[in-house]
Amino acid sequence: MRGTLYVVGTGPGGPQQMTPEALDAVSKATEFFGYGPYLDRLSLRPDQTRIASDNREELDRAQAALARSASGVDVCVVSGGDPGVFAMAAAVCEAIDAGPPEWRDLDLVVTPGVTAMLAVAARIGAPLGHDFCAISLSDNLKPWEVITRRLRLVAEAGLVIALYNPISKARPWQLGQAFDILRTVLPASTPVIFGRAAGRPDERMTVMPLAEADPAVADMATCVVIGSALTRIIARPGRPDLVYTPRFISGESQ
Amino acid sequence: MRGTLYVVGTGPGGPQQMTPEALDAVSKATEFFGYGPYLDRLSLRPDQTRIASDNREELDRAQAALARSASGVDVCVVSGGDPGVFAMAAAVCEAIDAGPPEWRDLDLVVTPGVTAMLAVAARIGAPLGHDFCAISLSDNLKPWEVITRRLRLVAEAGLVIALYNPISKARPWQLGQAFDILRTVLPASTPVIFGRAAGRPDERMTVMPLAEADPAVADMATCVVIGSALTRIIARPGRPDLVYTPRFISGESQ
Protein backbone atom coordinates (compact mmCIF):
# COMPACT_ATOMS: atom_id res chain seq x y z
CA MET A 1 0.00 0.00 0.00
CA ARG A 2 1.23 3.42 -1.00
CA GLY A 3 0.61 6.74 0.68
CA THR A 4 -0.20 10.07 -0.89
CA LEU A 5 2.47 12.74 -1.17
CA TYR A 6 1.08 16.23 -0.68
CA VAL A 7 3.22 19.24 -1.54
CA VAL A 8 1.68 22.38 -0.06
CA GLY A 9 2.41 26.07 0.21
CA THR A 10 1.56 27.98 3.38
CA GLY A 11 1.25 31.29 1.53
CA PRO A 12 3.47 34.21 2.50
CA GLY A 13 2.92 33.89 6.23
CA GLY A 14 -0.36 34.58 7.91
CA PRO A 15 -2.92 31.75 8.11
CA GLN A 16 -5.32 34.13 6.38
CA GLN A 17 -3.36 33.69 3.15
CA MET A 18 -3.31 29.86 3.10
CA THR A 19 -5.95 28.24 0.88
CA PRO A 20 -8.60 25.81 2.18
CA GLU A 21 -7.21 23.27 -0.32
CA ALA A 22 -3.77 23.43 1.33
CA LEU A 23 -5.30 23.23 4.83
CA ASP A 24 -7.29 20.19 3.72
CA ALA A 25 -4.11 18.47 2.51
CA VAL A 26 -2.47 19.23 5.87
CA SER A 27 -5.38 17.62 7.70
CA LYS A 28 -4.97 14.38 5.70
CA ALA A 29 -1.23 13.81 6.16
CA THR A 30 0.50 12.32 9.17
CA GLU A 31 4.17 13.16 8.57
CA PHE A 32 5.40 16.66 7.68
CA PHE A 33 8.71 17.44 6.04
CA GLY A 34 9.97 21.01 5.72
CA TYR A 35 12.13 23.87 6.86
CA GLY A 36 11.35 24.46 10.54
CA PRO A 37 9.97 28.02 10.29
CA TYR A 38 7.49 26.88 7.60
CA LEU A 39 6.38 23.89 9.69
CA ASP A 40 5.86 26.33 12.58
CA ARG A 41 3.09 27.98 10.58
CA LEU A 42 0.93 24.84 10.75
CA SER A 43 -1.29 23.83 13.67
CA LEU A 44 -0.67 20.09 13.81
CA ARG A 45 -2.54 17.47 15.81
CA PRO A 46 -0.81 15.23 18.36
CA ASP A 47 -0.91 12.32 15.89
CA GLN A 48 0.92 14.35 13.24
CA THR A 49 4.73 14.28 13.17
CA ARG A 50 7.18 17.05 12.16
CA ILE A 51 10.48 16.23 10.46
CA ALA A 52 12.25 19.60 10.20
CA SER A 53 15.40 20.05 8.14
CA ASP A 54 17.69 22.85 7.07
CA ASN A 55 16.66 25.26 4.33
CA ARG A 56 19.44 24.04 2.04
CA GLU A 57 18.65 20.33 2.20
CA GLU A 58 15.75 20.31 -0.24
CA LEU A 59 16.69 17.27 -2.32
CA ASP A 60 17.47 15.13 0.76
CA ARG A 61 14.15 16.19 2.24
CA ALA A 62 12.27 15.32 -0.94
CA GLN A 63 13.87 11.88 -1.07
CA ALA A 64 13.05 11.19 2.57
CA ALA A 65 9.44 12.24 2.03
CA LEU A 66 9.10 10.07 -1.09
CA ALA A 67 10.56 7.05 0.70
CA ARG A 68 8.08 7.42 3.55
CA SER A 69 5.18 7.85 1.15
CA ALA A 70 6.25 4.75 -0.80
CA SER A 71 6.14 2.80 2.46
CA GLY A 72 2.47 3.68 2.93
CA VAL A 73 2.50 6.93 4.92
CA ASP A 74 0.47 9.99 3.88
CA VAL A 75 3.19 12.62 3.76
CA CYS A 76 3.11 16.40 3.42
CA VAL A 77 6.06 18.43 2.13
CA VAL A 78 5.72 22.06 3.22
CA SER A 79 6.98 25.18 1.45
CA GLY A 80 6.41 28.81 2.29
CA GLY A 81 4.50 30.79 -0.34
CA ASP A 82 3.78 28.63 -3.39
CA PRO A 83 5.52 25.23 -3.51
CA GLY A 84 6.08 25.54 -7.27
CA VAL A 85 8.14 28.77 -7.17
CA PHE A 86 11.79 28.16 -6.24
CA ALA A 87 10.59 25.58 -3.74
CA MET A 88 9.84 21.97 -2.93
CA ALA A 89 7.65 20.89 -5.87
CA ALA A 90 10.66 21.00 -8.20
CA ALA A 91 12.85 19.21 -5.66
CA VAL A 92 10.25 16.43 -5.37
CA CYS A 93 10.09 16.12 -9.17
CA GLU A 94 13.89 15.98 -9.38
CA ALA A 95 13.91 13.19 -6.79
CA ILE A 96 11.21 11.24 -8.66
CA ASP A 97 13.07 11.70 -11.96
CA ALA A 98 16.29 10.22 -10.52
CA GLY A 99 14.68 7.81 -8.05
CA PRO A 100 13.35 4.23 -8.07
CA PRO A 101 10.48 3.40 -10.47
CA GLU A 102 7.95 2.95 -7.64
CA TRP A 103 8.17 6.66 -6.81
CA ARG A 104 6.50 7.36 -10.18
CA ASP A 105 3.50 5.39 -9.04
CA LEU A 106 2.77 7.52 -5.94
CA ASP A 107 -0.26 9.79 -5.72
CA LEU A 108 1.34 13.24 -5.94
CA VAL A 109 -0.88 16.21 -5.04
CA VAL A 110 0.59 19.72 -5.31
CA THR A 111 -1.57 22.55 -3.95
CA PRO A 112 -0.71 26.04 -5.19
CA GLY A 113 -0.33 29.00 -2.88
CA VAL A 114 0.18 32.76 -2.82
CA THR A 115 3.82 33.34 -3.70
CA ALA A 116 5.80 36.20 -2.11
CA MET A 117 5.83 38.57 -5.08
CA LEU A 118 2.02 38.54 -5.25
CA ALA A 119 1.74 39.34 -1.54
CA VAL A 120 4.27 42.18 -1.86
CA ALA A 121 2.49 43.54 -4.93
CA ALA A 122 -0.89 43.53 -3.17
CA ARG A 123 0.48 45.52 -0.22
CA ILE A 124 1.93 48.29 -2.39
CA GLY A 125 -0.56 48.64 -5.27
CA ALA A 126 -0.07 46.73 -8.52
CA PRO A 127 3.59 46.69 -9.60
CA LEU A 128 3.03 43.34 -11.40
CA GLY A 129 0.10 44.75 -13.35
CA HIS A 130 1.84 44.11 -16.65
CA ASP A 131 4.48 41.65 -17.97
CA PHE A 132 6.89 40.52 -15.25
CA CYS A 133 9.38 37.84 -14.30
CA ALA A 134 10.65 36.05 -11.22
CA ILE A 135 14.38 35.37 -10.92
CA SER A 136 16.23 33.71 -8.06
CA LEU A 137 19.39 35.59 -7.21
CA SER A 138 20.95 32.58 -5.53
CA ASP A 139 24.09 31.39 -7.26
CA ASN A 140 24.16 28.21 -5.20
CA LEU A 141 22.25 26.44 -7.96
CA LYS A 142 23.31 28.31 -11.09
CA PRO A 143 26.39 30.24 -12.26
CA TRP A 144 26.38 33.96 -11.54
CA GLU A 145 27.00 34.67 -15.24
CA VAL A 146 23.63 33.08 -16.08
CA ILE A 147 21.92 35.37 -13.59
CA THR A 148 23.55 38.58 -14.83
CA ARG A 149 22.77 37.72 -18.45
CA ARG A 150 19.13 37.09 -17.54
CA LEU A 151 18.87 40.36 -15.64
CA ARG A 152 20.15 42.32 -18.63
CA LEU A 153 17.78 40.61 -21.07
CA VAL A 154 14.62 40.95 -18.97
CA ALA A 155 15.38 44.61 -18.21
CA GLU A 156 15.88 45.24 -21.93
CA ALA A 157 12.59 43.45 -22.55
CA GLY A 158 10.82 45.94 -20.26
CA LEU A 159 9.59 43.37 -17.75
CA VAL A 160 9.07 44.15 -14.08
CA ILE A 161 11.51 41.95 -12.13
CA ALA A 162 10.81 40.11 -8.86
CA LEU A 163 14.01 38.90 -7.21
CA TYR A 164 13.70 35.89 -4.91
CA ASN A 165 16.50 34.90 -2.51
CA PRO A 166 18.06 38.36 -2.95
CA ILE A 167 20.64 38.11 -0.19
CA SER A 168 21.99 35.90 2.59
CA LYS A 169 25.00 35.80 4.88
CA ALA A 170 26.76 33.53 2.40
CA ARG A 171 25.76 35.74 -0.57
CA PRO A 172 26.19 39.37 0.55
CA TRP A 173 27.28 41.10 -2.71
CA GLN A 174 24.99 39.69 -5.41
CA LEU A 175 22.08 42.10 -4.90
CA GLY A 176 24.32 45.18 -5.14
CA GLN A 177 25.82 43.89 -8.35
CA ALA A 178 22.34 43.14 -9.70
CA PHE A 179 21.30 46.75 -9.03
CA ASP A 180 24.48 47.97 -10.79
CA ILE A 181 23.61 45.91 -13.87
CA LEU A 182 20.01 47.13 -13.91
CA ARG A 183 21.18 50.76 -13.59
CA THR A 184 22.89 50.39 -16.98
CA VAL A 185 19.53 49.57 -18.60
CA LEU A 186 16.74 51.20 -16.57
CA PRO A 187 16.04 54.86 -15.69
CA ALA A 188 17.51 56.09 -12.38
CA SER A 189 13.99 56.84 -11.13
CA THR A 190 12.71 53.28 -11.60
CA PRO A 191 10.91 52.28 -8.36
CA VAL A 192 12.47 49.46 -6.34
CA ILE A 193 10.27 47.81 -3.71
CA PHE A 194 11.82 45.94 -0.79
CA GLY A 195 8.91 43.82 0.38
CA ARG A 196 9.79 42.18 3.68
CA ALA A 197 7.56 39.55 5.33
CA ALA A 198 4.46 40.68 3.45
CA GLY A 199 1.33 39.72 5.36
CA ARG A 200 3.17 38.95 8.61
CA PRO A 201 3.33 41.04 11.81
CA ASP A 202 6.92 42.10 11.06
CA GLU A 203 6.04 43.27 7.54
CA ARG A 204 8.05 46.21 6.20
CA MET A 205 7.63 47.82 2.76
CA THR A 206 10.30 50.20 1.50
CA VAL A 207 10.33 51.96 -1.87
CA MET A 208 13.33 53.80 -3.30
CA PRO A 209 14.49 54.83 -6.77
CA LEU A 210 16.91 52.44 -8.49
CA ALA A 211 19.66 55.08 -8.34
CA GLU A 212 19.56 54.93 -4.53
CA ALA A 213 18.54 51.32 -4.01
CA ASP A 214 20.48 50.00 -1.00
CA PRO A 215 21.04 46.24 -0.83
CA ALA A 216 21.35 46.50 2.97
CA VAL A 217 17.57 47.07 3.15
CA ALA A 218 17.01 43.45 2.06
CA ASP A 219 17.29 40.33 4.16
CA MET A 220 16.39 36.68 3.64
CA ALA A 221 12.69 37.42 4.21
CA THR A 222 12.60 40.07 1.48
CA CYS A 223 11.29 39.86 -2.08
CA VAL A 224 12.70 42.73 -4.15
CA VAL A 225 10.52 44.03 -7.00
CA ILE A 226 12.15 46.31 -9.58
CA GLY A 227 9.75 48.23 -11.79
CA SER A 228 9.97 48.79 -15.51
CA ALA A 229 10.48 52.19 -17.12
CA LEU A 230 6.68 52.54 -17.12
CA THR A 231 6.07 51.75 -13.44
CA ARG A 232 4.54 54.74 -11.65
CA ILE A 233 4.25 56.04 -8.08
CA ILE A 234 1.06 57.64 -6.74
CA ALA A 235 1.68 59.96 -3.79
CA ARG A 236 -1.09 59.84 -1.18
CA PRO A 237 -0.98 62.50 1.53
CA GLY A 238 -0.94 60.83 4.94
CA ARG A 239 -0.79 57.37 3.41
CA PRO A 240 1.92 55.15 1.90
CA ASP A 241 2.62 55.70 -1.79
CA LEU A 242 1.08 53.30 -4.28
CA VAL A 243 3.31 51.71 -6.92
CA TYR A 244 1.78 50.27 -10.07
CA THR A 245 2.58 49.26 -13.63
CA PRO A 246 -0.09 50.30 -16.13
CA ARG A 247 -1.86 47.60 -18.11
CA PHE A 248 -1.22 49.39 -21.39
CA ILE A 249 1.77 50.46 -23.48
CA SER A 250 1.17 53.04 -26.17
CA GLY A 251 2.97 52.80 -29.48
CA GLU A 252 5.21 55.70 -28.50
CA SER A 253 6.37 54.52 -25.07
CA GLN A 254 8.05 51.22 -25.88
CA MET B 1 -17.51 59.38 5.43
CA ARG B 2 -15.52 57.23 3.08
CA GLY B 3 -15.86 53.54 2.39
CA THR B 4 -13.15 50.95 1.99
CA LEU B 5 -12.25 49.68 -1.46
CA TYR B 6 -11.34 46.00 -1.45
CA VAL B 7 -9.72 44.46 -4.52
CA VAL B 8 -9.83 40.68 -4.25
CA GLY B 9 -8.86 37.63 -6.28
CA THR B 10 -11.05 34.54 -6.29
CA GLY B 11 -8.16 32.25 -7.16
CA PRO B 12 -8.28 30.12 -10.31
CA GLY B 13 -11.81 28.91 -9.78
CA GLY B 14 -12.76 26.52 -7.03
CA PRO B 15 -13.68 28.00 -3.63
CA GLN B 16 -10.98 25.72 -2.21
CA GLN B 17 -8.34 27.99 -3.77
CA MET B 18 -9.63 31.32 -2.41
CA THR B 19 -7.85 32.60 0.69
CA PRO B 20 -9.63 33.31 4.01
CA GLU B 21 -8.35 36.89 3.70
CA ALA B 22 -10.19 37.35 0.39
CA LEU B 23 -13.35 35.72 1.78
CA ASP B 24 -13.16 38.06 4.77
CA ALA B 25 -12.98 41.09 2.47
CA VAL B 26 -16.00 39.78 0.57
CA SER B 27 -17.98 39.51 3.81
CA LYS B 28 -17.28 43.17 4.65
CA ALA B 29 -18.31 44.80 1.37
CA THR B 30 -21.81 45.59 0.20
CA GLU B 31 -21.36 46.36 -3.51
CA PHE B 32 -19.43 44.10 -5.88
CA PHE B 33 -17.99 45.16 -9.20
CA GLY B 34 -16.58 42.65 -11.65
CA TYR B 35 -16.85 40.53 -14.75
CA GLY B 36 -19.99 38.40 -14.34
CA PRO B 37 -18.36 34.94 -14.34
CA TYR B 38 -15.99 36.04 -11.54
CA LEU B 39 -18.87 37.46 -9.47
CA ASP B 40 -20.66 34.14 -9.98
CA ARG B 41 -17.92 32.46 -7.92
CA LEU B 42 -18.96 34.35 -4.79
CA SER B 43 -21.78 33.39 -2.43
CA LEU B 44 -23.29 36.78 -1.67
CA ARG B 45 -25.87 37.66 0.97
CA PRO B 46 -29.22 39.27 0.10
CA ASP B 47 -27.92 42.65 1.33
CA GLN B 48 -24.93 42.51 -1.04
CA THR B 49 -25.31 43.91 -4.57
CA ARG B 50 -23.66 42.75 -7.81
CA ILE B 51 -22.70 45.20 -10.55
CA ALA B 52 -21.47 43.02 -13.41
CA SER B 53 -19.75 44.48 -16.44
CA ASP B 54 -18.00 43.26 -19.55
CA ASN B 55 -14.51 41.83 -19.40
CA ARG B 56 -13.09 44.68 -21.49
CA GLU B 57 -14.45 47.55 -19.40
CA GLU B 58 -11.87 47.44 -16.63
CA LEU B 59 -11.12 51.16 -16.33
CA ASP B 60 -14.79 52.16 -16.36
CA ARG B 61 -15.47 49.54 -13.70
CA ALA B 62 -12.59 50.78 -11.55
CA GLN B 63 -13.86 54.37 -11.78
CA ALA B 64 -17.39 53.36 -10.88
CA ALA B 65 -16.14 51.39 -7.86
CA LEU B 66 -13.95 54.28 -6.67
CA ALA B 67 -16.83 56.74 -6.98
CA ARG B 68 -19.10 54.51 -4.90
CA SER B 69 -16.40 54.00 -2.29
CA ALA B 70 -15.79 57.76 -2.10
CA SER B 71 -19.49 58.21 -1.39
CA GLY B 72 -19.25 56.01 1.70
CA VAL B 73 -19.95 52.48 0.43
CA ASP B 74 -17.69 49.52 1.23
CA VAL B 75 -16.96 48.23 -2.24
CA CYS B 76 -15.31 45.07 -3.53
CA VAL B 77 -13.71 44.81 -6.97
CA VAL B 78 -13.42 41.18 -8.00
CA SER B 79 -10.82 39.56 -10.25
CA GLY B 80 -10.27 35.91 -11.08
CA GLY B 81 -6.93 34.50 -9.93
CA ASP B 82 -4.76 37.22 -8.39
CA PRO B 83 -6.03 40.80 -8.78
CA GLY B 84 -2.48 42.10 -9.30
CA VAL B 85 -1.66 40.00 -12.39
CA PHE B 86 -3.13 41.46 -15.60
CA ALA B 87 -6.23 42.36 -13.62
CA MET B 88 -8.18 44.92 -11.63
CA ALA B 89 -5.58 46.16 -9.11
CA ALA B 90 -3.68 47.96 -11.89
CA ALA B 91 -6.92 49.34 -13.35
CA VAL B 92 -7.87 50.74 -9.93
CA CYS B 93 -4.42 52.35 -9.56
CA GLU B 94 -4.69 53.87 -13.04
CA ALA B 95 -8.08 55.33 -12.12
CA ILE B 96 -6.73 56.75 -8.85
CA ASP B 97 -3.69 58.21 -10.63
CA ALA B 98 -5.89 60.08 -13.13
CA GLY B 99 -8.84 60.70 -10.84
CA PRO B 100 -9.94 63.34 -8.30
CA PRO B 101 -7.69 63.93 -5.25
CA GLU B 102 -10.21 62.42 -2.82
CA TRP B 103 -9.71 58.98 -4.40
CA ARG B 104 -6.15 59.01 -3.00
CA ASP B 105 -7.60 59.23 0.48
CA LEU B 106 -9.66 56.03 0.29
CA ASP B 107 -8.75 52.92 2.27
CA LEU B 108 -7.52 50.59 -0.45
CA VAL B 109 -7.07 46.92 0.50
CA VAL B 110 -5.76 44.51 -2.11
CA THR B 111 -5.81 40.81 -1.17
CA PRO B 112 -3.52 38.55 -3.20
CA GLY B 113 -4.67 35.27 -4.70
CA VAL B 114 -3.49 32.19 -6.55
CA THR B 115 -2.84 33.27 -10.12
CA ALA B 116 -3.54 30.93 -13.06
CA MET B 117 0.05 29.96 -13.85
CA LEU B 118 0.60 28.72 -10.29
CA ALA B 119 -2.54 26.59 -10.44
CA VAL B 120 -1.53 25.13 -13.80
CA ALA B 121 1.99 24.44 -12.55
CA ALA B 122 0.71 22.63 -9.46
CA ARG B 123 -1.50 20.32 -11.55
CA ILE B 124 1.33 19.22 -13.85
CA GLY B 125 4.39 19.10 -11.55
CA ALA B 126 6.71 22.10 -11.23
CA PRO B 127 7.34 23.80 -14.58
CA LEU B 128 7.88 27.15 -12.78
CA GLY B 129 10.52 25.63 -10.51
CA HIS B 130 13.18 27.99 -11.80
CA ASP B 131 13.27 31.50 -13.32
CA PHE B 132 10.09 32.34 -15.25
CA CYS B 133 8.01 35.18 -16.63
CA ALA B 134 4.36 36.05 -17.23
CA ILE B 135 3.47 37.83 -20.47
CA SER B 136 0.03 38.87 -21.68
CA LEU B 137 -0.43 38.04 -25.33
CA SER B 138 -3.22 40.57 -25.74
CA ASP B 139 -2.36 43.33 -28.19
CA ASN B 140 -5.40 45.34 -27.15
CA LEU B 141 -3.24 47.24 -24.67
CA LYS B 142 0.22 47.10 -26.23
CA PRO B 143 1.65 46.93 -29.74
CA TRP B 144 2.28 43.44 -31.13
CA GLU B 145 5.90 44.40 -31.84
CA VAL B 146 6.49 44.91 -28.10
CA ILE B 147 5.15 41.43 -27.42
CA THR B 148 7.25 39.69 -30.07
CA ARG B 149 10.41 41.46 -28.92
CA ARG B 150 9.72 40.41 -25.32
CA LEU B 151 9.12 36.79 -26.34
CA ARG B 152 12.46 36.63 -28.14
CA LEU B 153 14.38 38.18 -25.25
CA VAL B 154 12.88 36.02 -22.50
CA ALA B 155 13.36 32.86 -24.55
CA GLU B 156 16.99 33.83 -25.13
CA ALA B 157 17.29 34.46 -21.39
CA GLY B 158 16.22 30.86 -20.73
CA LEU B 159 13.10 31.73 -18.71
CA VAL B 160 10.02 29.55 -18.63
CA ILE B 161 7.19 31.59 -20.16
CA ALA B 162 3.58 31.74 -18.94
CA LEU B 163 1.28 33.31 -21.52
CA TYR B 164 -1.88 34.96 -20.22
CA ASN B 165 -4.75 35.92 -22.54
CA PRO B 166 -3.30 33.64 -25.23
CA ILE B 167 -6.23 33.75 -27.62
CA SER B 168 -9.73 35.11 -28.17
CA LYS B 169 -12.23 35.41 -31.01
CA ALA B 170 -10.89 38.88 -31.76
CA ARG B 171 -7.24 37.71 -31.53
CA PRO B 172 -7.06 34.33 -33.29
CA TRP B 173 -3.56 34.40 -34.82
CA GLN B 174 -1.28 35.79 -32.10
CA LEU B 175 -0.61 32.51 -30.28
CA GLY B 176 0.45 30.73 -33.47
CA GLN B 177 2.85 33.53 -34.31
CA ALA B 178 4.20 33.45 -30.75
CA PHE B 179 4.94 29.72 -31.13
CA ASP B 180 6.66 30.42 -34.46
CA ILE B 181 8.90 33.01 -32.81
CA LEU B 182 9.74 30.71 -29.91
CA ARG B 183 10.59 27.87 -32.33
CA THR B 184 13.43 30.01 -33.69
CA VAL B 185 15.02 30.15 -30.21
CA LEU B 186 13.99 27.03 -28.25
CA PRO B 187 14.52 23.30 -28.96
CA ALA B 188 11.72 21.56 -30.88
CA SER B 189 11.19 19.23 -27.91
CA THR B 190 10.52 22.03 -25.40
CA PRO B 191 7.35 21.07 -23.48
CA VAL B 192 4.33 23.32 -23.96
CA ILE B 193 1.53 23.03 -21.38
CA PHE B 194 -1.99 24.13 -22.23
CA GLY B 195 -3.54 24.52 -18.79
CA ARG B 196 -7.26 25.04 -19.11
CA ALA B 197 -9.50 25.93 -16.14
CA ALA B 198 -7.01 24.55 -13.59
CA GLY B 199 -8.80 23.58 -10.39
CA ARG B 200 -12.27 23.72 -11.93
CA PRO B 201 -14.54 20.82 -12.93
CA ASP B 202 -13.86 21.43 -16.63
CA GLU B 203 -10.08 21.38 -16.14
CA ARG B 204 -8.01 20.01 -19.04
CA MET B 205 -4.22 19.75 -19.12
CA THR B 206 -2.48 19.08 -22.45
CA VAL B 207 1.27 18.80 -23.01
CA MET B 208 2.92 18.77 -26.43
CA PRO B 209 6.37 19.54 -27.79
CA LEU B 210 6.87 23.07 -29.11
CA ALA B 211 7.37 21.70 -32.63
CA GLU B 212 3.78 20.40 -32.62
CA ALA B 213 2.15 23.00 -30.34
CA ASP B 214 -1.31 23.71 -31.77
CA PRO B 215 -2.86 27.10 -30.95
CA ALA B 216 -6.33 25.60 -31.42
CA VAL B 217 -5.90 23.73 -28.13
CA ALA B 218 -6.07 27.05 -26.25
CA ASP B 219 -9.14 29.08 -25.43
CA MET B 220 -9.82 32.12 -23.25
CA ALA B 221 -9.72 29.98 -20.09
CA THR B 222 -6.24 28.63 -20.90
CA CYS B 223 -2.87 29.66 -19.49
CA VAL B 224 -0.09 28.42 -21.79
CA VAL B 225 3.25 27.57 -20.15
CA ILE B 226 6.26 27.11 -22.41
CA GLY B 227 9.25 25.41 -20.80
CA SER B 228 12.89 26.36 -21.10
CA ALA B 229 15.52 24.17 -22.76
CA LEU B 230 16.04 22.56 -19.34
CA THR B 231 12.39 21.70 -18.61
CA ARG B 232 11.92 17.91 -18.32
CA ILE B 233 9.11 15.40 -18.64
CA ILE B 234 8.75 12.42 -16.29
CA ALA B 235 6.75 9.56 -17.80
CA ARG B 236 4.58 7.75 -15.26
CA PRO B 237 2.96 4.49 -16.41
CA GLY B 238 -0.80 4.71 -15.94
CA ARG B 239 -0.61 8.32 -14.77
CA PRO B 240 -0.25 11.73 -16.44
CA ASP B 241 3.29 12.85 -17.19
CA LEU B 242 4.94 15.28 -14.81
CA VAL B 243 6.61 18.40 -16.23
CA TYR B 244 9.21 20.27 -14.17
CA THR B 245 12.08 22.69 -14.45
CA PRO B 246 15.06 21.76 -12.26
CA ARG B 247 16.13 24.20 -9.57
CA PHE B 248 19.74 24.10 -10.73
CA ILE B 249 21.75 24.95 -13.83
CA SER B 250 25.21 23.48 -14.11
CA GLY B 251 28.01 25.55 -15.61
CA GLU B 252 27.88 23.43 -18.77
CA SER B 253 24.17 23.60 -19.52
CA GLN B 254 23.56 27.32 -19.86
Closest B-chain CA to A105: B236
Q: Give the tens place of pLDDT for each residue, A16-46.
A: 999 999 999 999 999 999 999 999 999 999 9
Same domain, A63 and A127: no
Same domain, B179 and B212: yes
Same domain, A122 and A208: yes
Q: How confident is the model at residue B252 (pLDDT cuts 50, 70, 90)?
A: low
Rounded to a whole number of angstroms, the distance from the CA of A27 to the nearest CA of chain B is 14
Among A138, A149, A133, CA closest to A228? A133
Is A232's CB within 8 Å of B121's CB? Answer: no
B254 pLDDT exceeds 50? Answer: no
Question: Per-residue DSSP letters for chain B?
Answer: ---EEEEEE-BSSSGGGS-HHHHHHHHH-SEEEEEHHHHTTS---TT-EEEEE-TT-HHHHHHHHHHHHHTT--EEEEESB-TTSSSHHHHHHHHHHHS-GGGGGSEEEE-----HHHHHHHHHEETTSSSEEEEE---SSS-HHHHHHHHHHHHHHT-EEEEES--BTTB-SHHHHHHHHHHTTS-TT-EEEEEESTTSTT-EEEEEEGGG--GGG--TTEEEEE--TT-EEEEETTEEEEEE--S---TT--
* For range B66-75, the mean pLDDT: 98
Same domain, A208 and A233: yes
Confirm whether A212 is domain-assigned: yes
Last residue of a domain, one of A54, A76, A110: A110
The domain total for chain A is 2
Confirm whether A249 is domain-assigned: no
Confirm whether B45 is domain-assigned: yes
Same domain, B84 and B120: no
Is B153's CB within 8 Å of A150's CB? Answer: no
Is A122's CB within 8 Å of B112's CB? Answer: yes
Given a contact cutoff of 8 angstroms between Cβ atoms, the answer to whether A164 and A79 are in contact is: no
Confirm whether A253 is domain-assigned: no
Last residue of a domain, one of A110, A142, A160: A110
Same domain, A229 and A173: yes
Q: Give the tens place of pLDDT for each residue, A113-161.
A: 999 999 999 999 999 999 999 999 999 989 999 999 999 999 999 999 9
Confirm whether A211 is domain-assigned: yes
Residue in B123, B125, B237 closest to A93 by CB: B125
Domain containing residue B21: 4-110
Same domain, A135 and A232: yes
Residue in B84, B123, B154 closest to A118 by CB: B84
Residue A196 belongs to domain with CATH number: 3.30.950.10
Same domain, A137 and A228: yes
Same domain, B179 and B76: no
β pairing state of A75-79 and A31-35? parallel
Confirm whether B253 is domain-assigned: no
Last residue of a domain, one of A80, A110, A140: A110
Confirm whether B251 is domain-assigned: no
Residue A66 belongs to domain with CATH number: 3.40.1010.10
Same domain, A105 and A123: no
Same domain, A144 and A122: yes
Is A90's CB within 8 Å of B14's CB? Answer: no
Q: What pLDDT was estimated at residue B2?
A: 87
Same domain, A185 and A226: yes
Q: What pLDDT was estimated at residue A254?
A: 42
Confirm whether B249 is domain-assigned: no
Considering chain B, what percentage of its residues have pLDDT values greater than 90?
91
| Spatial separation of the C-alpha atoms in residues A38 and A68, rounded to whole Å | 20
